Amino acid sequence: MENRKVLKSGEFLVEEVEANDIFIPEEYNEEQQMIAETIKDFLAAELYPNLDQLDSPDIQLMKTILKKSGDLGLMGISLPEEYNGFGQDFVTQMLAAETIGAGYSFSVAFMAHCGIGTLPIMYYGNEDQRQRYVTKLAIGELLGAYCLTEPGAGSDANSGKTQAKLSEDGTHYILNGQKMWITNANFADVQTVFAKIDNDRVLSAFIVERNYPGVVISPDEKKMGIKGSSTAQVFYNDVKVPVENLLGKRGEGFRIALSILHMGRIKLGANVLGAAKKAITDSVQYANERKQFGVLISTFGALKYKMAEQVIRTFALESAIYRVSKDIDRQIELNKIAGMDKGKAAVEGIAHYAVEAAILKVYGSEVLDYVIDEAVQIHGGMGYSAEMAVERGYRDSRINRIFEGTNEINRLLVVDTAMKRGMKGDFDLVGKAEELKANLTKIVETENEGESYYDEKMRTVRNFKRAILIVLNSASNAFGRQFVQEQEVLINLSDMITELYIAESTALRVKKMELIKGESNMAVYRQILDVMIYDAASKIEKNGMDAINSFASGEEAQNLIVAVKGLSSVKGVNVMMARRVIANKLIEDNSYKF
């Protein structure tokens, strides 16, 4: 295992990281690049010519294309070789998820099958269950779905009413209930279904086959976007599920559901990255063809702003995604060294980074919403026409802020999970914060003589961390046990933490890129970093002010405000010229090549 510093989830709040300790996309190996190219070729040959027909919708065509991806081996990237998979590491899984993300509703069906439709059985199933199901799910012989959400239990998954009772002869569980918003429902052969056994307080999980008597699937929902994917309600009417299809232990279902949601969140971050890159390429190619007032619209400053901002946010998202992906790979290896089997080592490694998963789900889905919204705007009236790819992308994007737990819930999770990890002793959150508050007038790090470009960026990042810690600690002390109920303040803090993590990830990536490529090739990337940190500072300051004014007053509020203003202070940036440099590279390349 590489000798690099591995931070625990949320530990970035109190610890520093070196550029050499993170993985960046510029380090992909030849095999990883080949997998990505295979997926791009598959989308170009099998998917893009059929998008209109898929969205009609044509569920059978979707099933056919999914099975073709299975024939190519794309469904087995994350699965061990002994179950017909390719046993790739988490970074490669995320690269595959990113590349598939350019596939509109196909990416939803594909990711649901490969992720939530397959991995619960892989990670929590016994050897018999893996042989019966995972070996076939890995190659598309069977297709999978995940049945958790119920009409009365959306975000509060454990309040579901679906029931399972053991039959008198002890051979079956009798399943009764209803699930909704089930992706792949109308063609999935295998479902992971969550239900409570008897009067249990928590869920259990079951492997249910579509053809079991009593499984009834409604017609597909009519949706705003992702029209090509199957989304339907599923009803269970006295369905007999063999006892050997209980997944994991009785009462372990809620844990399974949460673990799989962490995985789904982080992979959604990769998915939307692929969609954003495609939307940027669509934007610049249109701007490089469309003329107004006798000149190409790509020459207009207003459009350069939009295209540069698309690039900055997407590049920053990518930096954070692959940073945490490598952290997860290292955690999985540590789990194996500690004696866990492959399945448990993987699921525990992914679930460990719950703070970062929630950050990337929120930030990524909102980056894509920004990118695709501006893509439509760059296209003008044509962007509103169904002729253009950006119209489909715009409709498809909106679901990502709801999928895998709403962004509101994930924002709350960022703070709640980080605090719990700190209280548990994973890192010294409280101690660091108390130390800072005791020296409130002296905690702002200022410029040192001879400070290098990257020294200045990392000093700024350290100041961001200090701002967050003093606001977090002060809010927690002010509200006490009621803190978890103060959602507006929690969301302020979550947005501060998110901006910090993305800014730090981007700074570390650009610094490491320079070590690889040399300073002479880094002008445009320094411009990306300059604008990203400059904007992050204002967002951190604004959220900090809003939080402080919600719980403090008088001298305490004034002292905290002065500290946060000082800690979020950054050097001025000529953002107009920086964005023009970034946009000009995009325009020259005529596609996203950052």
What positions carry a catalytic annotation? 404
CB 75 within 8 A of CB 69: yes
| Token representation of residue 77 | 């990237």
Closest CA to 363 of 352, 353, 355: 355
State the residue range of the domain holding 123: 11-143
Is 89 a domain residue?
yes
| Token representation of residue 458 | 């990392």
Task: Tell me the pairing of strands 172-183 and 163-166.
Answer: antiparallel
Residue 237 confidence (pLDDT) above 80: yes
What is the pLDDT confidence band of residue 253, given thresholds at 50, 70 and 90? very high
Is 99 a domain residue?
yes
Closest CA to 358 of 313, 404, 423, 398: 404
Question: For 454-479, how does the pLDDT look when each residue is reduced to its tens digit (9 = 90+)?
Answer: 999 999 999 999 999 999 999 999 99
| Token representation of residue 343 | 């399945």
Residue 324 confidence (pLDDT) above 80: yes
| 434 lies in the same domain as 581 | yes
What is the pLDDT confidence band of residue 12, given thresholds at 50, 70 and 90? very high
| 436 lies in the same domain as 584 | yes
Domain count, the chain: 4
Domain boundary among 109, 143, 177: 143
Beta carbons within 10 angstroms of residue 249's beta carbon: 12
Q: Long-range contacts: 447-456, Cβ < 8 Å, 24+? A: 453/526, 454/19, 454/507, 454/511, 454/514, 456/571
Domain boundary among 247, 276, 294: 247
Is 3 a domain residue?
no
Q: Which amino acid is at 452?
A: S
Is 440 a domain residue?
yes
| 279 lies in the same domain as 222 | no
> Which CATH number belongs to the domain containing residue 100 in this structure?
1.10.540.10
Task: Tell me the pairing of strands 190-197 and 163-166.
Answer: parallel
| Token representation of residue 13 | 């709040």
> Which CATH number belongs to the domain containing residue 209 in this structure?
2.40.110.10
Rg (C-alpha) for the chain, rounded Å, is: 24
Q: Give the pLDDT confidence score for residue 451 in this predicted structure.
A: 87
- For range 182-197, the mean pLDDT: 96
Model-wide pTM > 0.85: yes
| 219 lies in the same domain as 341 | no
| 450 lies in the same domain as 580 | yes
| Token representation of residue 131 | 């042989």
- For range 169-190, the mean pLDDT: 96
| 456 lies in the same domain as 575 | yes
Is 513 a domain residue?
yes
Q: Give the pLDDT confidence score for residue 4 in this predicted structure.
A: 73
Is 123 a domain residue?
yes
Is 2 a domain residue?
no
| 60 lies in the same domain as 161 | no
Q: Long-range contacts: 457-463, Cβ < 8 Å, 24+? A: 457/507, 457/511, 457/529, 457/533, 458/16, 458/507, 460/503, 460/533, 460/537, 460/570, 461/500, 461/503, 461/504, 461/507, 461/533, 462/16, 463/566, 463/567, 463/568, 463/569
**What are the CA-CA distances from residue 455 to residues 19, 503, 516, 517, 540 (Å)?**
12, 14, 18, 19, 20
Domain boundary among 143, 169, 204: 143
| 432 lies in the same domain as 574 | yes
Is 221 a domain residue?
yes
- For range 221-233, the mean pLDDT: 96
| 38 lies in the same domain as 80 | yes
| 582 lies in the same domain as 500 | yes
- For range 48-67, the mean pLDDT: 95
> Which CATH number belongs to the domain containing residue 267 in this structure?
1.20.140.10
Q: Give the pLDDT confidence score for residue 1 in this predicted structure.
A: 52
What DSSP string describes 326-356?
A: HHHHHHHHHHHHTT--HHHHHHHHHHHTHHH
Instruction: Give residues with Cβ within 8 angstroms of 483, minimum separation 6.
Output: 475, 476, 489, 490
What's the maximum distance between 2 C-alpha atoms anywhere in the chain? 81
| Token representation of residue 361 | 């789900």
Q: Give the pLDDT confidence score for residue 2 in this predicted structure.
A: 61
Q: Give the pLDDT confidence score for residue 439 in this predicted structure.
A: 81
Closest CA to 18 of 470, 577, 515, 437: 515
Question: For 292-303, how does the pLDDT look when each residue is reduced to its tens digit (9 = 90+)?
Answer: 999 999 999 999
CB 242 within 8 A of CB 184: no
| 238 lies in the same domain as 293 | no
Least confident of 451-455, 497-501, 546-550, 588-592: 451-455
| 50 lies in the same domain as 138 | yes
